[in-house]
C-alpha cells in the first residue's frame, strides 16, 4: 500500500531536519520505513525529550528512533501514558529506558493501551512477579493486546482442568505461574483448543497423571497443536518403532517431542540419524535424540568421533541434552581418554 502512496508524496522536511539534528541515520529509515517520513504530523522533539527525561543518552535516542521510527508519530500524551503503564512493573526509570532501548517496538505499540493496563493488573493479581511481567511485555507483547476477559478465560480453563486431572488446590497457583512463565504464548490459544487437546490425550489412554506430566514437560506447547497433527505424529512413531499402543505411550512420556513435532520434522531427523549409521533400535532406546536438529546431531557425532567414540556401538545418551549437557559428557569422555593407565603393581623406578 505504501509504494503507491509514497511516490506521489514528499518527505516532511521538518521531520527529516529534526531527526538529522538528533544524529538519526535518515538513510536507514528511508530504506526500512520511509512512510514515517511522509506523514504530515510528527513529534520528533517531543518524543526525544521524553526519552532524554527518562535518562536516555543522545546515542540511545538516535538508536531507538532508527529502530522504531514510528515512535515519532505518537503524541506525547500517548507516550507518557505508556511510560506510566510500564512503570507499574519496572523498578525505576533506568530499567525502563534500558527495556525501551532493547525492545522499542513493544513499548511504542500504544493502540492497546487499555488492554495492556488491564492485563498487567490481572497478572499482578494472579501472582506473577513484575520481572516476569516485564519479560512478557518485551518478548510476548501480543498477549497484552487480548481483552483481559479472554486471558482470564484461558487461565480459568487451565485451572479447572488441572483440578480435574488430579492436581491439588495447594499446588495449582504454582503450576499455573510456572506454565505461564515458561510459555506465555499459551494465552493466544482459545479455551476450546485447550479442552480438545486434553481430551485427545485422554482418548489415547494417557492417565490423568500422565496428561499433567506431559503438560509440564511440554511447557504448555501442546496447546499450539491440533488433535489431527498429534494423531499423525503418534502414528508415524508407532510405524517406525513397530510398537504397541502401550509401548508408544511410554515412548511419548519419555520423549514428548514425538507428540510435539510434525511428521516431516520427525522424518527428517530420523533420516539424519540413520545416515550416520545409527539404528532404529538405538533411537527407540533413547528417543530424546529426536529433540535435536540434524545439524546439531552431526556436529556432536563429529566431535565424539574425533575422540575415538563410536556412536554406532555406543549409547546415544552422550548425544543428548542441552549444549551444556553435551559439553559435560564430552569432557568426561575426553578426560577418560587422556588419563594415563595406572598399574598399581608395576615397579617404581627411582633414579639414584
Q: Of 232-236, 317-321, 324-328, 341-345, which range is least confident? A: 341-345
pTM over 0.85: no
The count of C-alpha atoms lying within 13 angstroms of the C-alpha of 41, restricted to the half-sphere facing its C-beta, is: 4
Mean pLDDT of 318-328: 86
8 pLDDT higher than 60: no
User: CA 84 to CA 170: how far, in whole Å?
Assistant: 35
Q: What is the mean pLDDT of the chain?
A: 89
9 pLDDT higher than 90: no
Query: pLDDT band at residue 352, thresholds of 50, 70 and 90?
Result: very low
Under 8 Å between Cβ of 295 and 329: no
Cell 553435551 -> residue: 326
What is the model's pLDDT at position 40? 92
Helices (H), 68-190: 76-86, 93-102, 104-107, 113-126, 130-139, 148-164, 169-182
User: CA 100 to CA 95: how far, in whole Å?
Assistant: 9
What is the model's pLDDT at position 146? 93
Under 8 Å between Cβ of 224 and 183: no
Q: CB neighbours of 139 closer than 8 A, spacing ≥ 6?
A: 103, 184
The pLDDT tens digits for 268-283 are 999 999 998 888 999 9
**Residue 352, exposed/middle/buried by CB under 10 A (0-12, 13-18, 19+)?**
exposed
What is the model's pLDDT at position 1? 35
Virtual CA dihedral for 181, 182, 184, 188, nearest 10 degrees? -150
Q: Of 76-90, 164-178, 305-319, which range is least confident? A: 305-319
The pLDDT tens digits for 186-214 are 999 888 888 899 999 999 989 999 998 88
User: CA 63 to CA 318: how far, in whole Å?
Assistant: 44
Cell 504448555 -> residue: 220
Instruction: Kindly state the DSSP code that residue 141 receives in the 8-state scheme.
Output: G
Q: What is the 3-state secondary structure (H, E, C) of 180-220?
A: HHHCHHHHHCCHHHHHHHHHHHHHCCCCHHHHHHHHHHCCC
Cell triple for residue 149? 476477559
The count of C-alpha atoms lying within 13 angstroms of the C-alpha of 94, restricted to the half-sphere facing its C-beta, is: 1
User: CA 350 to CA 352: how far, in whole Å?
Assistant: 6
Query: pLDDT band at residue 343, thresholds of 50, 70 and 90?
Result: low
Cα distances (Å, whole numbers) of residue 189 to 176, 193, 329: 15, 7, 38
CB atoms within 10 A of CB 270: 19
5 pLDDT higher than 80: no
The pLDDT tens digits for 238-249 are 999 999 999 999
Mean pLDDT of 209-229: 87
User: CA 185 to CA 187: how far, in whole Å?
Assistant: 5
Q: Of 64-73, 134-143, 161-170, 333-342, which range is least confident? A: 333-342
Greater model confidence, 7 or 31 = 31
Q: 67-93 in b/e burial notation, b at 16+ Cβ within 10 A? A: bbbbbbbbeeebbebbbebbeebbeeb
Under 8 Å between Cβ of 156 and 194: no
Instruction: Kindly state the DSSP code that residue 349 receives in the 8-state scheme.
Output: P
Mean pLDDT of 96-119: 94
Mean pLDDT of 17-39: 92
Q: What is the 3-state secondary structure (H, E, C) of 250-267?
A: HHHHHCCHHHHCCHHHHH
Query: pLDDT band at residue 317, thresholds of 50, 70 and 90?
Result: confident
Percent of the chain with pLDDT over 70: 93
Considering only CA atoms, which of 229, 130, 147 is closest in space to residue 181?
130
Considering only CA atoms, which of 253, 277, 252 is closest in space to residue 266?
252
Give the highest mean pLDDT range of 114-123, 176-185, 216-225: 114-123
The pLDDT tens digits for 36-58 are 999 999 999 999 999 999 999 99
Percent of the chain with pLDDT over 90: 67
Query: pLDDT band at residue 349, thresholds of 50, 70 and 90?
Result: low
Amino acid at each position: 500500500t505504501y509504494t503507491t502512496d509514497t511516490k506521489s508524496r514528499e518527505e516532511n522536511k521538518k521531520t527529516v531536519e529534526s531527526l538529522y539534528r538528533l544524529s538519526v541515520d535518515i538513510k536507514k529509515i528511508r530504506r526500512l520505513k520511509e512512510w514515517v517520513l511522509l506523514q504530515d504530523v510528527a513529534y520528533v522533539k517531543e518524543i526525544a525529550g521524553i526519552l532524554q527525561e527518562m535518562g536516555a543518552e543522545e546515542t540511545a535516542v538516535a538508536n531507538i528512533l532508527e529502530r522504531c521510527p514510528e515512535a515519532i508519530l505518537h503524541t506525547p500524551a500517548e507516550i507518557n501514558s505508556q511510560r506510566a503503564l510500564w512503570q507499574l512493573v519496572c523498578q525505576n526509570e533506568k530499567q525502563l529506558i534500558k527495556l525501551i532501548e532493547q525492545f522499542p517496538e513493544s513499548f511504542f505499540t500504544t493502540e492497546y493501551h487499555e488492554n495492556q493496563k488491564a492485563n498487567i493488573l490481572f497478572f499482578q493479581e494472579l501472582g506473577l512477579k513484575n520481572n516476569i511481567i516485564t519479560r512478557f511485555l518485551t518478548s510476548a507483547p501480543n498477549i497484552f493486546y487480548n481483552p483481559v476477559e479472554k486471558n482470564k478465560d484461558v487461565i480459568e480453563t487451565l485451572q479447572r482442568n488441572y483440578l480435574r486431572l488430579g492436581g491439588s488446590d495447594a499446588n495449582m497457583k504454582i503450576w499455573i505461574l510456572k506454565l505461564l512463565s515458561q510459555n506465555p504464548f499459551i494465552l493466544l490459544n482459545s479455551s476450546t483448543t485447550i479442552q480438545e487437546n486434553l481430551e485427545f490425550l485422554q482418548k489415547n489412554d494417557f492417565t490423568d497423571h500422565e496428561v499433567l506430566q506431559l503438560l509440564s514437560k511440554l511447557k504448555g506447547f501442546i496447546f499450539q497443536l491440533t488433535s489431527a497433527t498429534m494423531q499423525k505424529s503418534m502414528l508415524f512413531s508407532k510405524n517406525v518403532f513397530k510398537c504397541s499402543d502401550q509401548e508408544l505411550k511410554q515412548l511419548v512420556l519419555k520423549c514428548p517431542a514425538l507428540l510435539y513435532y510434525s511428521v516431516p520434522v520427525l522424518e527428517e531427523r530420523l533420516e539424519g540419524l540413520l545416515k550416520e549409521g545409527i539404528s532404529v533400535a538405538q533411537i527407540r532406546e533413547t528417543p530424546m535424540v529426536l529433540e535435536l536438529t540434524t545439524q546439531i546431531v552431526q556436529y556432536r557425532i563429529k566431535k565424539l568421533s574425533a575422540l575415538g567414540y563410536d556412536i554406532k556401538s555406543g549409547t546415544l545418551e552422550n548425544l543428548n541434552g542441552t549444549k551444556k549437557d553435551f559439553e559435560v559428557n564430552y569432557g568426561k569422555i575426553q578426560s577418560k581418554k587422556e588419563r594415563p593407565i595406572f598399574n598399581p603393581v608395576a615397579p617404581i623406578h627411582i633414579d639414584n
